[in-house]
Amino acid sequence: MNKAVGCLVVAAAMLWPAGGARAGSGGGGSGAHWSYEGAEGPANWGSLGYPLCASGKNQSPIDIGGNAAATDLDEIQFKYAPAPIQVKNNGHTIQFDYPPGSFITVGAQRFELVQFHFHTPSENTIQGKSYPMEVHLVHKNAEGGLAVVGVMMQTGQVEAAHGGHGAEGGGLETIFGALPAAANLTLTSERAIDAGRLLPHDTGYYHWMGSLTTPPCSEGVRWFLMKEPITIAPAQLTRFQTIFANNARPVQPLNSRNLFIKARSGGGAGAGH
């Protein structure tokens, strides 16, 4: 293992609670009085000061059924660059903040990558199937509009392209080796991570208009869920689940929304990262 990666793994391990797994409480910031279970769980978010979580008609996550319309949507152009690690446990998830300069373009729209974070199990489902984990790459345009790229994560043998054990280039082992277990703790390192390693080869996607999946459940969010999952090592999943055993909101009704599917991308996810 690379020495720098090893130091991050050791540092993260030292921060894990001795008591083992504990329930997390989502991606909406530390100190928020909501959770993923019990009286402060998702069914009660609407009565905890976040009314849109209960009354909204365009909520996320959703189940991707068989009703997605095949449409000639724009390809997502990914332009991600490696960045120094700045990661925090906000009490609800593990969030990696990203500096300016990495972005996606969809048609004429450019969205800067702001942060990415994880949910276990996956929040969105495909024909009722959930995955062990889902990563949300959160982007913002110049007007403040949000676009979230979701990627499903399954367990297995990690390919070198995504940076498995001992691989260089800010891959998965580096990302999952830097998971602060204590709430409200931020870790920084000059060791680089590459958000592009979280993308599948095929960048075909499902698209709908939705919301944040955590309070305040704000709507008007453009969602792009990659059709192809990526693979993480079982030990990497375990590292996260040791900190957050469950931090996924249940799927919400599609209601009258349109759901679209973009066929396989010709360029793949390799360009720009």
Residues 6+ apart with CB under 8 A from 190: 84, 85
Joined tokens for residue 255: 């209601």
**Beta-carbon count within 10 A of 155 CB:** 16
Q: Which two tokens stand for residue 47?
A: 């009565």
Which residue out of 92, 119, 139, 162 is catalytically annotated?
Answer: 92
Q: Are 168 and 192 in contact (CB under 8 A)?
A: no
Give the position of tokens 């459940």.
217
Q: How many CB atoms lie within 10 A of CB 158?
A: 22
Q: Residue 206: phi, psi to the nearest 5?
A: -95, 145
201 is an active site residue? no
DSSP secondary structure letter of residue 35: -
Question: How many angstroms separate the Cα of 23 from the Cα of each of 33, 136, 159, 241?
Answer: 14, 19, 30, 9
What type of residue is 118?
F
Catalytic residues: 92
